[in-house]
Amino acid sequence: MLTTPIGKDLATSHWGAYDVVRKNGEAVGLTSRADDPDPSPIGPAMWDAYRSTLRIQRPAVRRGWLHRHGVETSGSGRGKDPFVEVSWEHALNLVAGELQRVIAQHGNASIFGGSYGWASAGRFHHAQSQVHRFLNTLGGYVRHMDSYSLGAGRVLMPHIVAPMEQLMVQHHSWDVLAAHTRLFVTFGGVPQKNAQVGLGSASEHRVSKGLASMASAGCHFVNFSPVRSNLDVPDNATEWIPIRPNTDVSVMLALATEVILAGRHDLPFLARYCVGFERWQDYLLGKVDGVVKNADWAAPIADVPAQRLRELALQLAGNRSMVNVAWSLQRADHGEQAFWSTVGLAAVLGQIGLPGGGFGMAYGPTNNIGSPDRLLPGPTLPQGVNPVKAFIPVARITDMLLSPGKSFDYNGERHVYPDIRLVYWAGGNPFHHHQDLTRLAQAWARPETIVVHEQVWNAHARMADIVLPATSTLERNDIGHGTRDPLLIAMKQLMNPAGVSRDDYDIFADIAQRMGLRDAFTEGRSTMQWLEFLYAHAARGAKTAGVEYPAFTDFWATSGVRLPPSDGGVVMLAQFRADPVGHPLETPSGRIELFSERIASFGYADCPGHPTWFEPAEWLGGAAARKHPLHMLSDQPHTKLHSQLDHSSYSRANKVAGREPIHIHPDDAARRGVRHGDVVRVFNDRGACLAGAVLDVNLRPGVVKLSTGAWWDPQMPGDRDSLDRHGNPNSLTRDVGASRLSQGCSAQTCLVEIEKFIGTPPPVQVFTPPLFADA
């Protein structure tokens, strides 16, 4: 099968592929492609954002570090000291010298290599791959495991079904759902704004069209969520059940119990494809603790009608049904249980592996889930081998910095936090992703040196010692590829780099040269030679799948190629369903584990051997709600990706009173004297921030929604009484692991209170460049 050349001039990004607008032959902007069913408005905002005055123009070093670098207390001025701009020669010498000093004195296990992989849709200029390859060339580094998005899910799912990476690429495609699914029950909706992005490119956005096609085919949707608007389906096809946050597991368990009590559970499926059902059934039917987990039990916990749960259980059993769970549900206290209970409910129904039936984890988080396009290997930069074995779960970075030498549990093993002296970060923004940012800022003062590659003066850059200006997606050449995406794109440089910014690859190559390791890092290749090398590797993988790529020179002469369509729809776990012996799962039993002997053997009281209901640490049904009576959800923003492009005109136009908007039900607002557009103070015992009030009837009363991504703007970093002026919800969230199994983040378990801000609110300062000084 042959590919088809792309005729139009394209640029690609995490938000999708866009037509390049040219004037007199010069690129002047981006516009949406006509063949994208639902283009994201975020991508075109890149153009002006990458020309912003907030771009880092030259290498900069924190003045306090210049005077005291290498001294243990040198981090106390991070986020407060002015910066000194220096030449590239000076900056690279400082970084190389500091790396050599730390490695010689403390070893490679004292270096933490941070990144989050979202800096570019290009597969070569993938900041995470670049920094890991560089640090491996130096002898290794302490790495992180898993992700903030899927911390609990990534650890749990290999034990009970399959790794998340495998499941994500084999979800039923939208055409299969439209043809077969007649009841779609989702916990947490299918948020289309989240699906506007992809780890690589997201050239054809399908969620909106996919949901519409399901509704047109007669599928009925039931949305258990505190937020009505996270499922955009016509009202006549949708039922919204405004569940109490963090109680979804109780409803899932009750639905499974009601199916069993009605005798509608699929015993042949459970016997052939699952292990441990009897053990879990004993728990559901109260033989373990005397509590039957039926609808009457779940109704007061979740604040939903018991009769509706009983009816829904029979509807699930009587239709081709899909049970979907949003990723946000496992970003909570005991977050593993939401995913495990979803699998358990789907297993009781017996439809896993059938077209349109089973479970989804999940439709909505990224564009590729549900794609019918061909699954082909993409270009991937080799990262080398890391000799350092120490690691942390990604959401435990503050614990690591505050408590070196302390032991921690993770996935059945006990590990020890390393003693980190130097943090090297390229790609991502820990002062967006992490929870309890005041605590992180306190921990951030501990390392002797922090080096970052950044494009803009966000909190990540302001909290560093050495800031190296990196180019943006539009300022370099690369190859764009996304999993199950129909386009392989030749990403051409469209604008000149800001100031003297440089590609991450060139920065690392020059540091490696100063350390006598340039050839080991570069393997003698320029950027274009690497692109040709990575393309050839991807082409060989595609050829084994029967797809012929053109020669690299032909590929680069165009905007890329359109891949041939797939042969048919995707059905998740179809091979396992057809032959569980010939196509076993990678679990210990080769089957779906409703009771996991392996997890039970870990002895974790907060994550036992089967799906279990636990009362959250903070929830509206608990005592903590008397002090902080609002449950805050921190979802993904619709104006940016994480914190990327928060400084863009598109993102800033959606602010309220210059702050990130916080959605609140009109009844809750009225009780607090808050009106639409007011600046409000959102607070709990962990911190406080300012936000702009938006009254929203699509919320359950008692719930507020403050999206992530506002650049953190504290009055005084690290001060527990400090006020974030801009509206970053991680000023308030819990920095506690979901459980001892995963140690994933639990940001969605968070209670707050809101009050109208009286007086003149302090101005947002994070969109003003930091102070600079002479050395």
Q: How many CA atoms lie within 13 A of 600 on its CB side?
A: 13
Check pLDDT > 80 for residue 498: yes
Summarize pLDDT for 330-375 with one digit per residue, the tens: 999 999 999 999 999 999 999 999 999 999 999 999 999 999 999 9
Compute the distance between CA of residue 206 and CA of residue 371 in angstroms, rounded to an integer.
7
Among 335-339, 377-381, 506-510, 574-578, where is mean pLDDT lowest? 377-381
Kindly report the CA angle at 733 between 728 and 734, in degrees rounded to 5? 155
pLDDT band at 69 (very low <50, low <70, confident <90, very high): low
Compute the distance between CA of residue 579 and CA of residue 43 in angstroms, rounded to an integer.
44
Place of tokens 């009605």: 262
Burial status of residue 404 (CB atoms within 10 A of its CB: 0-12, 13-18, 19 or more):
middle
The pLDDT, as a whole number, for residue 72 is 42
The pLDDT, as a whole number, for residue 588 is 98
Average pLDDT over every residue of 475-490: 95
Check pLDDT > 80 for residue 453: yes
Place of tokens 């259980």: 313
The pLDDT, as a whole number, for residue 99 is 98
Among 4-18, 301-315, 752-766, where is mean pLDDT lowest? 4-18
Summarize pLDDT for 130-146 with one digit per residue, the tens: 999 999 999 999 999 99
Over its C-alpha atoms, the chain yields an Rg (Å, rounded) of: 26
Question: What percentage of residues in the chain have a pLDDT greater than 70?
Answer: 99
SS3 content of the chain, % helix, strand, coil (to 5): 35, 20, 50
Q: What are phi and psi of 297, to 5 degrees?
A: -70, -45
The pLDDT, as a whole number, for residue 503 is 97
Summarize pLDDT for 170-229 with one digit per residue, the tens: 999 999 999 999 999 999 999 999 999 988 889 999 999 999 999 999 999 999 999 999
DSSP H stretches of helix in 328-453: 336-349, 397-402, 430-433, 437-444
Q: Are 265 and 348 in contact (CB under 8 A)?
A: yes
The pLDDT, as a whole number, for residue 24 is 95
The pLDDT, as a whole number, for residue 584 is 98
User: Catalytic positions, please?
Assistant: 116, 118
Check pLDDT > 90 for residue 127: yes
Q: Are strands 466-469 and 449-454 parallel, antiparallel or unpaired?
A: parallel
Ordered DSSP codes for 637-677: -SSSBTTBTTTSHHHHHT-BTTB-EEEE-HHHHHHTT--TT
The pLDDT, as a whole number, for residue 736 is 98
The pLDDT, as a whole number, for residue 22 is 96
The pLDDT, as a whole number, for residue 70 is 47
Compute the distance between CA of residue 657 and CA of residue 676 in angstroms, rounded to an integer.
10
Q: Are 255 and 309 in contact (CB under 8 A)?
A: yes
Average pLDDT over every residue of 705-720: 97
Compute the distance between CA of residue 744 and CA of residue 599 in angstroms, rounded to an integer.
16
Average model confidence (pLDDT) across the chain: 96
Torsion on CA atoms 193, 377, 392, 684, rounded to nearest 10: 0
Q: State CA 89 to chain mean position distance.
A: 36
Cis link prior to 60 (omega < 30° from 0)? Answer: no
The pLDDT, as a whole number, for residue 446 is 97
Summarize pLDDT for 230-253 with one digit per residue, the tens: 999 988 999 999 999 999 999 999
Summarize pLDDT for 319-330 with one digit per residue, the tens: 999 999 999 999
Cβ neighbours around 333 below 10 Å, total: 23
Check pLDDT > 80 for residue 75: no
| Alpha-carbon distance values, 561 to 345, 448, 493, 558, 756 (Å) | 42, 47, 18, 8, 54
